[in-house]
Structure 1
Amino acid sequence: MRIGLLTEGGYPYANGDSRLWCDRLVRGLEQHEFDLYALSRSAEQEKQGFLRLPPQVRRVRTAALWAPADDGRTYGRRERRRFAGHFKDLAAAVCADGDGFADGLYGLAELAREYGGLYAALRSETAVRALESACRAPGTRRTVHGATVVDHLAFADRLERALRPLLLDWYDEDGLGAVDLCHAAAGGPAALPGLLAKRFCGVPLLVTEYGVQLRAHYLAATDAGLSAPVRALLAAFHGRLAAEVYRQASVITPGNTHARRWQERCGADREKLRTVYPGMEADRFAAVGESADTGDPHTLVWVGRIEPSKDLIALLHAFAEIRKAEPLARLRLFGAPAQSPEAATYLAHCKALAAQLFPDEAEGAHAVGDNPVSFEEIGGPEAPELVDAYAAGGVVVLSSVVEGFPISLVEAMFCGRATVSTDVGAVVEVIGGTGLVVPPRNPRALADACVSLLRDGARRERLGAAARARALELFTVEQNLTAFRGIYLELMSHSPVPRDLVDADGEPLPFAHPAECHVPARWTGAAARPRTPSWAEEPRLVAAGAPPETAKETHP
């Protein structure tokens, strides 16, 4: 089977989202061929190069979402009329929840396929005037109704960026039309080429979301400092796009119930949804998980990326209360090196707070020793290994206020550690009763839960054993690969074969395609469990580009 794997800001680039999950998927399903269609987010990401790709990757085609896609073409009178009609449908649906979003989107895609020129058209006066009319039409939202010309221009700019995949030359028999199945590794822009491949070539679409892309767009619009009307327009556009992706997808695989609820809220058909947990490599944690050593009974361990969403401030305040109840308690915080000025600033703020909360013990620059709080890096030449970090304590703590799928929590479960976590994202679903869960932003509750486990070694051991058993059952790579192997075959059994496979002499290959069969949904919907990359795992076999056997095509 030939799979078109669609990504945005991730695989096969050496850094970015879902790169390790996609790499494990491609390597684990080596009986299939993969064509990679990757949208990059920045010049820095492209500069880092690719992971070294296995031989089953036959082609890599890339396109830059961050670079202007101006092909220098402009429309004549007839094409301008077509553009105005399609853009009017799309704008009306975005502004007033109309029914013309799909017609407008595919109309623009067909126009771009025939004539190009979409970059200039989306930034033209025609587009801005159509958007202004749609915003002021009866029935529009109050926030959108008050948009100014500046807001219209800002939204038109963002919309042009989001629709850049429409201009790509991927949608023909030499591109996505040659694959048996499109698998989008995320929603949003990553799935847009899959929509067009289905529209133009009839290729079935599978969508996997291990994070909630729509929610990420909401947060990004807020952080970008955009005005309320622009944020409302962007939210409506991405909501409409998500709904169309879910409508056209043959199967949707959320990574947890939290993501599944978002998808259902956006209109996803429950019959199409199959929860497939991210798969992680359990073997690397086996030595700790199977060991009789349960770690220092007085030590709490936190592992993750040091950033505001992890709420280390609340954890430090909670630890101050823990020290009052348990004077021998220690807190070891293991984090990856800061990757941005914001992360470095937050780390400095946390260290300053620790020094303020423990003034008599703050000497030693927070090194492991007499100081009850230590900040330690993972990933450096002399830094501890990730497995050793989890092995260092008897209790692992997660204090986040925002979390999708809690990878560090699953790693702690593989290590057989008792956990205390905040109730965010998919935490409760992952823990499943094998750890303690408290409300977020509540240092008192976090402290009480930690103290209860520090004082009860037998309970820690029971919870740790139960957590490891649950993780081995649900969150391994093998479970993930098994799920997608079955979904691929099921989708192909329901879809017509788009091409004939032949041997070197041009003769048809017998049994080259899976049998055309129908498996009842009650069987195919059985529990499917997969895997997730470690938050701190380094890309394997990073190369400056694709290997010699892989064809790389780059779109400007």
Structure 2
Amino acid sequence: MRIGLLTEGGYPYAKGESALWCDRLVRGLAQHEYDVYALGRTPRQERAGRLPAAPAVRSVRTMALWTPAEDGPGNGRSYGRRERRRYVGCLAELAAGVCGDGPEHGGADAGNTFATGLYGLADLLRAHGAPPAALRSEAAVRALEAACRAPGARRGVRQATLRDHLAFSDWLERALRPLVPDWYGPDALGAADLCHAVSGGLAALPGLLAKRFFGVPLLLTEYGVHIRSHYLTTAGAPLSAPLRALLAAFHGRLATEVYRQAAVITHGNAHARRWQQRCGADPVRLRTIHPGLDAHRFAAVGEAGDTGDPYTLVWVGRAEPAKDLVGLLHAFAAVHREEPRARLRIVHAPPSPREPADYLAHCRTTATRLFPTRLFPTRLFPTWPGPGTGPMGQGAPAFPVTFEEVGGPSAPDRTGAYADGAVTVLSSVVEGFPAGLVEAMLCGRATVSTDVGAVVEVVGGTGLVVPPRNPQALAAACLALLRDPARRARLGAAARARALELFTVEQNLSAFHGLYLELMSRAPVRRDRDGTAADGTPLPFAHPAEAYLPGRWTGRLDRAPAPVPAGLGPPVGAGATSGTRPHRDTDSGGIGSGDA
């Protein structure tokens, strides 16, 4: 199967979780062929270089959204008067869809207006190319201004000024660059059997056009819902209120159209599913496929059965305000008053330019204030071998809190951090899919978490969950586990079993493989060499779906199967095969790989 993988700001450039997931996908499903279509957000990504290409990746095509307009696609082309009027008319429809409130507020059907304008622009660009200055023309800015002033426009965009109109037009020129016809031909997306978009934002635009021009089915995967990510990333941006409203409206309309056109929409948890449904996704087409982690990294710790230091709490993650480390320190202060031997290890990832530089310093200051006689500079005393030891020797006050960086001498990797503690704590106030919590579960550790995002769905009944922003409840749960070793062991074993069942790379790849086969079995074959009728009509199901039943043969293939007593074998025609076990489809994987 030939798959067009559509990414934005991620694979094959970024080295974060999204890029790692895409890399595992193309390497784990090597029986398919992948063509990568990547949208670049910043020049820093391209300077960092690409990830090593997997054997299944046939080609990588990129488009930079950060370059100036004169260097962008379509440079040097010009429109006639008729085409320019049509271009401005389509842009006016697009702007009306962005600015309109929609039928739920008594206005026009803004969603359909947005889609009409978007596809009208795509048809025009495919026929005539993209003029570099069309979106910056006076007529285009006037069309946007008229949409903002029209009756029924959103309240937030009515006060937009000329500066806001120019800024949004500049951003829109970059956002609509994926509409140019370079990727839409019989040798590019037109030759794909399936488009797989890993985001519901601009990355899905090529998938919308591939479906419109060639009938290629679109599969959408959102482990982080795009519209939610947009709200979070622009919360602190220096934007005016009308410009912020215009950008949010565009992303909302685009997400709704992508959800409407996608054949199947996958998500990683119920929290993301609720966001998708609120944005217009049809529940019938929603499937849950949990993210997969490499369980082999944590096998040694998880299978050892050691519960770590019985008085140590461990927190692992990025030091940012959403993790509420200040609340965790206040909760640990209460724990330490009840159990003086308790210690807290805060193991944080190396800081990035996007993180607040002063937050970690603020957490250190808070810890110094909470433990004035016991806390020492971590650069001199990063950690201590156990309770009851300190910088003055045996019997000196213990070092209750440490701040350690992953990759440093005290915490060379995350696995070692989980192994050294008895309880892993998550104190976030905002969380999507808690990958760090899954890592702790794979290590067989008991966990205490706050009820945010997908935490309850991930933990199930294998850990303690408390309300967010409640240090007293967090402290009580930590004390309960520190004082009960048998309960910690039971919860840790159950957590590891749950993680191995639901959150491994193997289950993730199996689910997507089955989904590929299901979508392929529905779609007709468009290429002549693959099978068409005498009149040229594409034949559906010309690609027979593969049959995949996980399991092993019970004996050697050259041996005859053992005779089955009468009445005990499967009924005639049931299709049972000796040595195979039935494939059990669970809600976590969405579609079983044996469904095809």
Counterparts in 2 of 1:159 and 1:421: CA distance versus 1, 3 Å: same
1:304-337 CA-to-partner distances (Å, cap 9, x unmatched) read 1122211111111111111111111100011121
Question: Which of 445, 450, 453 is equivalent to 1:417?
Answer: 445
The DSSP-based 3-state class of the residue aligned with 2:26 is: helix
Q: What is the TM-score when the length of structure 2 is the normalising length? A: 0.83
CA apart distance, 1:225: 1.9
1:415-494 mapped onto 2 (5 Å cutoff): 415-494=443-522
Kindly name which structure, 1 or 2, has the bigger radius of gyration based on alpha carbons.
2
Alpha-carbon separation, structure 2, partners of 1:279 and 1:16: 14
Q: Tell me if the contact between 2:9 and 2:38 (Cα under 8 Å) persists in the aligned partners.
A: yes
The DSSP-based 3-state class of the residue aligned with 2:258 is: helix
1:192-233 CA-to-partner distances (Å, cap 9, x unmatched) read 111111111211100000001101112223222211111112
Residue 322 of structure 1 aligns with which residue?
Answer: 335
1:262-313 CA-to-partner distances (Å, cap 9, x unmatched) read 1111111111111100011111111111112111110000011122211111
The DSSP-based 3-state class of the residue aligned with 1:62 is: strand
The DSSP-based 3-state class of the residue aligned with 1:290 is: helix
1:60-107 CA-to-partner distances (Å, cap 9, x unmatched) read 111112113431434321112101211111111111132311110011
The DSSP-based 3-state class of the residue aligned with 1:487 is: helix
Question: Which of 76, 88, 92 is equivalent to 2:80?
Answer: 76
The DSSP-based 3-state class of the residue aligned with 1:403 is: coil
Alpha-carbon separation, structure 2, partners of 1:51 and 1:100: 40
CA apart distance, 1:163: 1.5
Residue 553 of structure 2 aligns with which residue?
Answer: none
1:222-241 mapped onto 2 (5 Å cutoff): 222-241=235-254
The DSSP-based 3-state class of the residue aligned with 2:3 is: strand
- Which deviates the most, 332-341 or 421-430? 332-341
Question: Which of 418, 428, 434 is equivalent to 1:400?
Answer: 428
Alpha-carbon separation, structure 2, partners of 1:515 and 1:455: 55
Q: Give 5+ residue unaligned stretches, structure 2.
A: 103-109, 385-397, 531-540, 548-582, 591-596
Residue 36 of structure 1 aligns with which residue?
Answer: 36
Residue 575 of structure 2 aligns with which residue?
Answer: none
Alpha-carbon separation, structure 1, partners of 2:136 and 2:341: 64
Alpha-carbon separation, structure 2, partners of 1:420 and 1:500: 58
CA apart distance, 1:119: 4.1
- The question of 1:25 aligning with 2:28 is answered no
- The question of 1:88 aligning with 2:82 is answered no
Alpha-carbon separation, structure 2, partners of 1:106 and 1:16: 33
- Which deviates the most, 397-406 or 64-73? 64-73
CA apart distance, 1:385: 2.0
Q: Tell me if the contact between 1:74 and 1:121 (Cα under 8 Å) persists in the aligned partners.
A: no
Alpha-carbon separation, structure 2, partners of 1:92 and 1:162: 17
Question: Which of 526, 543, 546 is equivalent to 1:513?
Answer: 543
- The question of 1:280 aligning with 2:280 is answered no
Residue 529 of structure 1 aligns with which residue?
Answer: 589
Please tell me the residue identity of whatever aligns with 1:192.
L
Please tell me the residue identity of whatever aligns with 1:279.
G
1:147-546 mapped onto 2 (5 Å cutoff): 147-167=160-180, 169-340=182-353, 342-365=355-378, 367-369=382-384, 370-380=398-408, 383-499=411-527, 513-515=543-545, 527-529=587-589
CA apart distance, 1:499: 2.4
Q: What is the TM-score when the length of structure 1 is the normalising length? A: 0.89
CA apart distance, 1:168: 5.2
Residue 60 of structure 1 aligns with which residue?
Answer: 60
The DSSP-based 3-state class of the residue aligned with 1:169 is: helix
Alpha-carbon separation, structure 2, partners of 1:341 and 1:474: 32
1:117-139 CA-to-partner distances (Å, cap 9, x unmatched) read 35411122111111111111111
Q: Tell me if the contact between 1:222 and 1:231 (Cα under 8 Å) persists in the aligned partners.
A: no
Alpha-carbon separation, structure 1, partners of 2:91 and 2:513: 40
Residue 546 of structure 1 aligns with which residue?
Answer: none
CA apart distance, 1:442: 1.7
Residue 556 of structure 2 aligns with which residue?
Answer: none
Q: Give the % identical residues.
A: 69
Alignment length (residue pairs): 517
- Which deviates the most, 223-232 or 421-430? 223-232
CA RMSD of aligned residues (A): 2.1
The DSSP-based 3-state class of the residue aligned with 1:172 is: coil
Q: Tell me if the contact between 2:518 and 2:545 (Cα under 8 Å) persists in the aligned partners.
A: no
Q: Tell me if the contact between 2:517 and 2:545 (Cα under 8 Å) persists in the aligned partners.
A: no
Q: Tell me if the contact between 1:301 and 1:389 (Cα under 8 Å) persists in the aligned partners.
A: yes
The DSSP-based 3-state class of the residue aligned with 1:139 is: coil
The DSSP-based 3-state class of the residue aligned with 2:297 is: helix
- Which deviates the most, 2-11 or 165-174? 165-174
Higher RCO structure, 1 or 2 (CA under 8 Å, sep 6+)? 1
Counterparts in 2 of 1:83 and 1:516: CA distance versus 1, 3 Å: farther
The DSSP-based 3-state class of the residue aligned with 1:359 is: coil
